[in-house]
Structure 1
Amino acid sequence: MIGAAKGVIRSMLCDGQYKSEVIPVDYAINGLIVIAFETATANPKPEQIPVYNITCAEKKKLPWETVMNLGKKLGYEYPFEAGVWYPDGGITTSKLYHTINVILFHWLPAYLIDFLLLCAGQKRFMVRVQTRISTGLDVLQFFTTRAWDFKSENYEKLYTNLSEKEKKIFNMDTDSIDDEEYLKVGILGGRQYIMKEPLSTLPKARKQLKALYILDRTVKTLLLGFLLYFIFSRTGLLDVMLESFGLAK
């Protein structure tokens, strides 16, 4: 989410219809503690080793497309300070389309920025950052391009066996999670504690986001206009259009 919000990640291989396996880390830690307790105190010991999939209940699993769209919406409401470009990436299942996007919007800008930094005598970093991002995406995309079916019945039973006091201390109830609030907290947390951007900079960041939006649309319009002009002039369509408007020389 941080990479996308900073305009660094513009494309990701992901089937939006597959369901995400996302759970808050404190719920996962609580689950690990309860599993260890259950394993140590079980009497008699089970004949087969029990398997616990720490994941949310099936009805709580959101499609990746929903997660991405919600994350983008919240990213616009609570933007990070100006990044590489306007955050407007997307997901796709086409490896060819993804590869083209990665070359055009990941690697070319990274090399261009590093070249400008080199000319200015500054330390280069964008290619290194993009390499780390690509490595991370390769790992994540293994999961986002495949359908997974992790059953969580055993994990859910652990929570029902806890006392009311234990349930408050070791909360594992994913049904109570507000998905939008969870992502919002994730974005604001990443903003403050990873990027070191205090909440007081939000008004400034929103102005920067508007400026980046105008710049993004302007550049894309100019590039599209140049491309169309080049194609029309090469194919003779430009002369035909000029003649139809009575503008031909």
Structure 2
Amino acid sequence: MCTSPPRKTTTNNVTPAAAEPLPGWVDNMNGPTGVLIGAGKGVIRSMICNGELRSEVIPVDIAINGLILLPYHNSRLKQKPQQIPVYNLTVDDAKKRSWKWIMDVGRDLGLKYPFDVGLWYPDGNMTTSKFYHTICTILFMWLPAYIIDFLLAIFGQRRFMVRVQTKISVGLEVLQFFTTRNWDFKSTHFEQIYKEISEEDRKIFKINTNDVDDYEYMKISILGGRQYVMKEPLTSLPKARIQLRFMYVLDRISKGLILGGFIYWASMRLGLIDLVRHGIEAVKH
């Protein structure tokens, strides 16, 4: 019995499907999908990420097609390689977008196609400062989670926000390992397979990412997460947009009150209020 050398295959962050079985199809919140949903719901307010680094992601259907084609292609080789080949399943270097581009486009599309019943207006940010991230996490993620769970307990409802926040924190820690480091996966062998397979196989097993429009793919990824993970039909978009406008007004009013309260407190501590009051009284007299 003859055996050929094993092939080593590595994949990057797997994202929603580009085409099969449906555009945007996804069945979990792992990786970038969870960030898009969490940010769209207003749950994720901060993330450690170097926006200048390029993302290493690949649509799930292209990754699966590649995994199917690898053994098929290698079984047809007339001459087996002397060394174990390594296949990195990733997109072409020219197609790799920066994390900043992904976050900015994701935020823009998240406002055009909002999720239902978000926790707050989606207005998070990314940073490379762990100190700033920790402050934002405590004030805008953990503190609201405990307050909401406290109110739910008072009204006899089931608490869930702290549990959700814990899962999000674990997911962010895993993803931040990739978003704060520079990765350089060469997919030369993977690209070579596309050149060597027949035209018919190219139509059946699509692995060429050059045909994927990045902006359109981000759009279907958000809509896919909305439909297939959160179970929110597209018919609810008009209602979601009304809720988003309400959350926007509430967000701005809340920030205005907090900022105004801080300025008033600082003015009192510095004696500016008394100074202004005495000045007004002096003018009157």
TM-score range, shorter chain: over 0.9
Alpha carbons of structure 1 residues 155 and 242: separation in structure 2 relative to 1, 3 Å: farther
**Counterpart in 2 of 1:123?**
158
Residue type of the alignment partner of 1:227:
F
Tell whether the 8 Å contact from 1:4 to 1:87 is kept in structure 2 after alignment.
yes
| Alignment partner of 1:54 is 2:97 | no
Taking the aligned partners of 2:178 and 2:242, their CA distance within structure 1 comes to: 36
Structure 2 unaligned regions, length at least 5? 1-35
1:248 and 1:94, CA in 2 relative to 1: closer, same or farther beyond 3 A?
farther
Whether 2:46 is the aligned partner of 1:11: answer yes
Separation in 2 of the partners of 1:101 and 1:150?
33
* Matched residue, 1:45: 80
In the alignment, structure 1 residue 26 sits paired with structure 2 residue 58: no
CA distance in 1, matches of 2:217, 2:276: 54
Is contact 1:7–1:83 with CA below 8 Å preserved after alignment?
Answer: yes
Segments of structure 1 that go 5 or more residues without pairing to the other structure are none
Q: CA–CA distance in 2 between the matches of 1:221 and 1:138? A: 32
- Asked if 1:221 corresponds to 2:279, the answer is no
| Higher relative strand content | 2
- Closer/same/farther in 2, CA of residues 32 and 82 from structure 1, 3 Å limit: same
What is the SS of the residue equivalent to 1:100? helix
Q: CA deviation at 1:214?
A: 0.3
| Aligned counterpart, 2:15 | none
Q: Are residues 1:132 and 2:132 paired?
A: no
Compute the displacement of 1:244 (Å): 5.0
RMSD (Å) for aligned C-alpha atoms: 1.5
Tell me if the contact between 2:90 and 2:187 (Cα under 8 Å) persists in the aligned partners. yes
1:1-249 → structure 2 map (5 Å cutoff): 1-243=36-278
Identity of aligned residues (%): 58
Query: After superposition, what is the alpha-carbon deviation per residue over 1:44-65, rounded to whole angstroms, capped at 9, x for unaligned?
Result: 2100011111111111000100
Question: Residue deviations 1:120-145, cap 9 Å, x none?
Answer: 11111111111011000000000000
Match of 2:30 in 1: none
Q: CA deviation at 1:38?
A: 2.2
TM-score (norm 2): 0.84
**Number of residues of Structure 1 aligned to a counterpart in Structure 2:** 249
